[in-house]
Amino acid sequence: MIAPGKLARLVATNALSNRRRLALHTFGLVVGIASFAFFLSLSMSVRSVFLEEIFPLDEVEVVAPRVGAADVDARDALNDDVVNEIRQHPDVKEAVPRMAMAFPASGAAMFMGQRMPFEAGGFADGVDPAYVADEDFADRFVDWEAEEHEREACGPPPERECGDHYYCDQRDNTCHKRVPIVVSRTLVELYNTQFAPSHGLPPIDEALEGMLASMLRLEIGLGETMFAAAMTGGESPPRQVEGMVVGISDKAMPIGVTVPIGYMERWNREFVGDEAAEVYSSIEVVLEGREAVAPFAGWVQDELDLSLADRQGERFATAIFIVTALFVMISLVIVTIAAINIAHSFFLQVSERKRELGVLRAIGGTRGDIRTLVLAEAALIGVIGGLLGVAAARVGAAAVDFAAHRWMPAFPFKPDSFFLFEWWIVAGGIACAVVFAVLGGLFPAGRAANMPPAQALSQD
Amino acid sequence: MAGDPIIRLRDVEKSYGPASAPARVLRGVSLEVGSGEFVALMGESGSGKSTLLNIVGALDVADRGHVEVAGVRYGEAKERALARLRNVDIGFVFQAFNLIEHLTCLDNVCLPASFSRGKSPAEVQERGKEVLGRVGLADVAGRKPGTLSGGQKQRVAIARALFQRPRILLCDEPTGNLDSHTGGEVIEFFRELNERDGVTLVIVTHEQRISSAAERIVSIRDGVIEDESAGAPAAKEAAST
Ligand SMILES: Nc1ncnc2c1ncn2[C@@H]1O[C@H](COP(=O)(O)OP(=O)(O)OP(=O)(O)O)[C@@H](O)[C@H]1O
Ligand SMILES: [Mg+2]
């Protein structure tokens, strides 16, 4: 039996002695493995952005179905009873009701000396603070007005002003804590990529996030629209409150602002009526896993007569999966062709090197030694091809990232790198190259080993 | 002068080609070679000399008959035992040198160590240089065979064959590709090896000079041993008694 160290030396000198042959062998492998690693890491990155940041797949939203006139009261179904029923379902980790703002409101954001007006009605909702309990701003996302308590008196300036994070409420001329607000990462991305550059404002990065509460003040005109004070059958006159952004979270409304649900209930009761304060707009459900989505959707439809909100995330995920699968298949085809190429070329090589292998038998090599030698050479070619392939993929990825950074305009969720080289892609690429190269070497190795040495050495 | 037989062949047969119409190359060869003997194997082209030598060296397998070399019975031996025999006890020298082109001369000479254990890399190198020195080529150790003359190549091949200190050296027309002068040097070397180190030599040759250096000449014709005669030294010995 040939010793591993001696085998390695023999194989290395053999494989490396003919650079052109080595290049020819590895070329196909490099191309195959490079495309394999490139596309797989691209799709991993795209998947992680889509599925983790934009459309988490184990979260669904239960809504009242869009119904015809016959079923008008179906919307009433989204109440506390339904929430409790959903919470009992075994696949459900968490069920959180959301209550949309049911009346018009105007808003304006005061930031870095600029006033940015926006429409708040329809772009605001409330959630239970317990839903965001694990976020680091949880201690500030609190319904400060859940209980009545003593407040400092205030009045329009110059009379008395309220301290930081407080505003003077018009109803009772006392200082109320500003309404805590969370916004979504989507909104921040939109601001950073679309709004900030065109208005000469700084992007909101990690450094700025923590200071948002003091830098950004929101005025909300409850019961009034941006353009006019045209009230629509409200019970109360419009009034102003102020809010402050306490955090950024995926649990916030994608486009809009989210407040503790207590505020929304009181406001809906005040401006619309009791009914609006008891019916939820949707129920956010976190499931045990992606696999639970389909059965849960069926259960919601059959048992509750409700439905899930349009799930674009799932469609994207499927599309990404298909594209990934396609590219991986193409890569595998390339790698297979490379393996066939290796087999073919090894086959020729074994004939060419017949005499050399015969010499090795004559000086003491067994059949097993010869087979090991040829296979080890194939494996070495596999390792070299795999390493070069992965390296080529990384170089290609770096080039694409550089080009994207340089020439592609900013867009929401534009990642720093479009590629995610997970360890298993690197390991898998190299392993794949080795496996295919060894497969390619298997038959030629057997042939080389079974050649009688006398015949291998005979002069032709 | 010769010791106990180190090579024993009895009724060895070998055919090539299809079983329906076999070309019978060896038709019952029986031969014994004593330890330390110097035998020249002669015969016309196609008579089966190389075939016989390959069977003795376990590079080919006899169809029938009994082969025993250095105490190993080929019919019963495992592949590992035969490989070990080729590695340790038998050295081969071919007409075509059969050096590996992409290895240096020293690496070529040390190649048999790849298939055996016990020597450290330094010891292997040392032994390699020693045998290269023995054939007078210490200075070509780092060169590739492609840069050597035919005579030098054959001496490197002989050094490789001697690396493991074999008891038997099998040579198939070792001077066939050499000019008469370098051929003469090689023959002289063989003779010295046989006399000084007691290496058993079986050399296939057409050359008069080799056969006259040998103790015994075995002639083969059409796959049978036709004639055995004493070579020059034996004749000399015979004449002196
Ligand atoms: N592998 C083989 N397949 C078929 N026939 C073979 C094979 N090897 C040898 N022969 C035939 O066997 C016969 C003997 O060959 P061998 O090589 O032993 O002769 P030789 O005495 O060494 O001749 P030369 O002096 O030319 O080397 C030849 O007729 C040859 O054609
Ligand atoms: Mg011959």
Cβ <8 Å between B59 and A457: yes
B196 touches chain A (CB under 8 A): no
Q: How far does the centroid of ligand 2 lie from the alpha carbon of residue B165, in Å?
A: 25
Is residue A276 in some structural domain?
no
Do residue B59 and residue A367 have CB atoms under 8 angstroms apart? no
Per DSSP, B59 falls in state S
Q: Which of B57, B80, B96 sits opposite A459 (nearest CB)?
A: B96
String of DSSP letters for A121-163: TTSEEEE-GGGGTTSTTGGGS--TTSS-----B-BTTTTB---
In this prediction, residue A69 carries a pLDDT of 45
Ligand lying closest to the C-alpha of residue B47: 1
Is there a single domain that holds both residue A183 and residue A42? no
**A421 plus A325 within the same structural domain:** yes
A228 and A166 in one domain? Answer: yes
Around Cβ A130, how many Cβ atoms within 10 Å?
13
Pocket of ligand 1 contains residue B43 by CB under 6 Å? yes
Find the B204 Cα to ligand 2 centroid distance in Å. Answer: 8
Task: From residue A46, give the alpha-carbon distance in Å to each of A130, A293, A317, B147.
Answer: 31, 21, 10, 58
Q: Is the pTM of this model over 0.80?
A: no
Residue B175, CA distances (Å) to A457, B97, B219 in order = 17, 10, 18
Can you give the pLDDT at residue A390?
93
Residue nearest to ligand 1 atom 9, measured at CA: B51
Q: What is the pLDDT of residue A310?
A: 66
- What confidence tens digit (pLDDT) does each residue in B24-42 have? 999 999 999 999 999 999 9
- H or E segment and range at residue A261: helix A261-271
Regarding whether A301 and A336 lie in a shared domain, the answer is no
pLDDT over 60 (residue A100): yes
Q: Check whether A18 has a pLDDT greater than 80.
A: no
Regarding the beta carbon of B26 and ligand 1, being less than 6 Å apart is answered no
Q: Do A122 and A167 lie in a common domain?
A: yes
d(CA A301, CA A55): 22
| DSSP bridge partners of B172 | B204
Neighbours of A310 (CB within 10 A): 10
The interaxial angle of helices A4-17 and A367-407, nearest 10 deg, is 60
3-state helix, strand, coil in chain A (%, to 5): 55, 15, 30
Residue A195 lies in a domain: yes
Rg of chain A (C-alpha set): 33
Predicted complex ipTM: 0.91
Q: Which residue has a Cα nearest atom 13 of ligand 1?
A: B46
Q: State the average pLDDT over residues A68-72.
A: 48
Whether residues A303 and A234 fall in one domain:
no
CA-to-CA distance for A15 and A437, rounded, in angstroms?
13
Q: Is B223 in the pocket of ligand 1 (CB under 6 A)?
A: no
Domains of chain B, CATH where assigned: 5-98+166-240 (3.40.50.300)
Residues, chain B = 241
Do A327 and A452 lie in one domain? The reply is yes
B103 and A CB contact within 8 Å: yes
- Tally of structural domains, chain A: 3
Residues A142 and A230 in one domain: yes
Query: Structure tokens of B200?
Result: 């058993």
Whether residue A363 sits in one domain with residue A302: no
Domain range for A173 is: 103-271
CB contact at 8 A, B203 and B52: no
Q: Please say if the pLDDT value at position A45 is more than 90.
A: no
Interval A341-388: pLDDT, tens? 777 777 777 777 888 889 999 999 999 998 998 888 888 888 998 999
> pLDDT tens for residues A404-420?
888 877 777 777 888 88
Best residue among B41, B47, B203, B206 to mutate for probing ligand 1, ranked by most atoms within 8 Å of CB: B47
Surrounding ion ligand 2 within 5 Å at CB are: B 50
Q: Which of A32-41, A309-318, A330-339, B73-82 has the lowest mean pLDDT?
A: A309-318
Q: Which ligand is nearest to the CA of B60?
A: 1
Residue A2 and residue B114: Cβ atoms within 8 Å?
yes
Ligand 1 pocket test, candidate residues B13, B25, B202, most atoms within 8 A of CB: B25
Answer yes or no: is the C-beta of B18 below 6 A from any ligand 1 atom.
Answer: no
Nearest-10 crossing angle of helices A312-352, A423-450: 30
Give tens-digit pLDDT for B59-84. 999 999 999 999 999 989 999 999 99
Same domain, A407 and A260: no
Strands A239-248 and A179-183: parallel
